[in-house]
Structure 1
Amino acid sequence: MPPARLIILAGILTVLGASDRAVSLLADMPLVQQASQGMSEIKLLCLALVFVYAFFTFSWCMRQYNFAAVLVGSARMIGERHGQRAGAQGLRLAGGAVYSLAANQFNLGLRSYYFGMAMLSWFVSPWLFMVMSAGVCVVVYRREFHSDVLDVMVFTPTESVPEQPARESTVAIG
């Protein structure tokens, strides 16, 4: 996935270099609010900042996953060599904590993509940008706090894993 992030950034920087042509192209489109070249460049810079943030967040996430893999992988060897199950268990717990941090960074990277897509609507209208940003907030909230996946993941060890809710098939034949 890193090449796609770089392509997005390269595209944004290319449009920034030819912002005068981009402004005239946007001016010819229907329903697009007119903006000056300076304002269009500010919008492009904001969009580039969002995707630069996403790039570094995903890069840091990958590093953390590698760190966690090393911790978890080395826990068994240390426990076997020295007969220290407690030390190995500590490394496993540390690996789990690093996995959790990496997953959080991955979520931040995904959210930046969601808001970057909403930011694209700013080129059409600031009102559309506000609506799209609110829509992204609603989608992220529902996925974080009210999803079927969350229902499956959140259970106490004494319980069994909850069953998936039955869904009706809506496949059209014909």
Structure 2
Amino acid sequence: MTSLFATFSLDALDGIALAVLILTWAVTGWLAEHPPASRPSVSALMAGYRREWMRQFVTRSPRIFDANIIDSLRQSTAFFASASMIAIGGGVALIGNVTTLEGLAHDLTLEAAGVRVELKIILVLVFLANALLKFVWAHRLFGYCAILMASVPNDVADPQAYPRADQAAEINITAAKSFNRGLQSIYFALAAITWLLGPWALIGATVITCFVLLRREFASLSREVMLAR
């Protein structure tokens, strides 16, 4: 038991790198969904557009355009869910072959401790598993949204028309949040792979990933376009 614990134990720098990765993952996700009021994120801006979409949807006839958009969103989530499952399968197969992992460690001039490399691969798999769960849930929520949209009366004067549209909008926003969380996990899974190169590589990749995500949420051209009036 002691030798097994020692094999999985992390030195100080590895522990710091892992903590930086997890903390950055949590903080960037929280900032994207809870931005400052003075500087809304792309996710927050898109939530407003999704609400407006559902209100415009009430008076649109026919509603084929809206049905096509929902179908496209579901296809996107299904694609990423499938890709995540394939990646998880590849990672599990890699962990099951310690010899290959040891060879990879030698090729990267790392320590030849197969279990140590396994731990690093497991971290990647955790992010991929989280992404898979988020994508699957987003896919289901977009399905719920489609059903709610179908229940919106065609008569604009119907008292249930706009309340149902508002319900569909909120489900749509929730689905988009889950989809974005899945994408964020994919980004950080890619950053976690660099741990194979050492803790400094992991810290560097984490900082770059954080910069990319925050720039896209708070300083991208697409955000400026959404803010334009």
**Both structures adopt the same fold (TM-score exceeding 0.5):** yes
2:171 matched residue in structure 1: 98
| Corresponding residue number in structure 1 for 2:26 | none
Q: Report the alpha carbon displacement of residue 17 of structure 1 after superposing the two structures with TM.
A: 0.2
Q: 1:49 offset after TM fit, Å?
A: 1.0
Higher relative contact order (CA 8 A, sep 6+): 2
Aligned to 2:57: none
TM-score of the pair, normalised by structure 2: 0.61
1:8 aligned to which of 87, 90, 108: 87
The 3 A distance-change label for structure 1 pair 28 and 148 is closer
Which of the pair has more CA radius of gyration?
Answer: 1
Specify the alignment match of 1:129 in structure 2: 202
Which SS does the other structure have where 1:86 is aligned? Answer: coil
- RMSD, aligned α-carbons: 1.7
What percent identity do the matched residue pairs reach? 26
Q: Which residue of 1 aligns with 2:136?
A: 59
Q: Does residue 144 of the first structure (1) align with residue 144 of the second (2)?
A: no
TM-score, normalised by the number of residues in structure 1: 0.79
Q: Indicate the residue corresponding to 1:165 in structure 2.
A: none
Q: Which runs of 5+ in 2 are unaligned?
A: 1-78
Q: CA deviation at 1:24?
A: 2.2
The question of whether the paired residues in 1 share the 8 Å contact of 2:84 and 2:132 is answered with yes
Q: Deviations over 1:53-98 (max 9, x none)?
A: 1001000011111111111121125xx4xx8623121110011111
2:127–2:189 contact (8 Å) kept in structure 1: yes
Q: Which runs of 5+ in 1 are unaligned?
A: 161-174
Q: For 1:60-75, list aligned pairs within 5 A.
A: 60-75=137-152
Count of residue correspondences? 150
In the alignment, structure 1 residue 114 sits paired with structure 2 residue 187: yes
Task: Quote the offset at 1:38 in angstroms.
Answer: 2.1
**Distance in 1 between the 2:125 and 2:220 partners?**
31
Q: Which amino acid aligns with 1:120?
A: I
Question: Structure 1: how far apart are the matches of 2:222 and 2:204?
Answer: 27
* Separation in structure 1 between the aligned mates of residue 140 and residue 209 of structure 2, nearest angstrom: 28
Deviation above 3 Å: which 4+ runs of structure 1? none
Tell me the distance in 2 between the aligned counterparts of 1:34 and 1:102: 42
Q: Relative to total residues, which structure has the larger helix share, 1 or 2? A: 2
Worse-superposed segment, 136-145 or 4-13: 4-13
| 1:157-172 equivalence runs, <5 A | 160=229
Where do residues 44-55 of structure 1 align in structure 2 (5 Å cutoff)? Answer: 44-55=121-132
Residue 37 of structure 1, aligned match among 114, 124, 127: 114
Report deviation, 1:142.
0.3
Query: How much does 1:34 deviate?
Result: 1.9
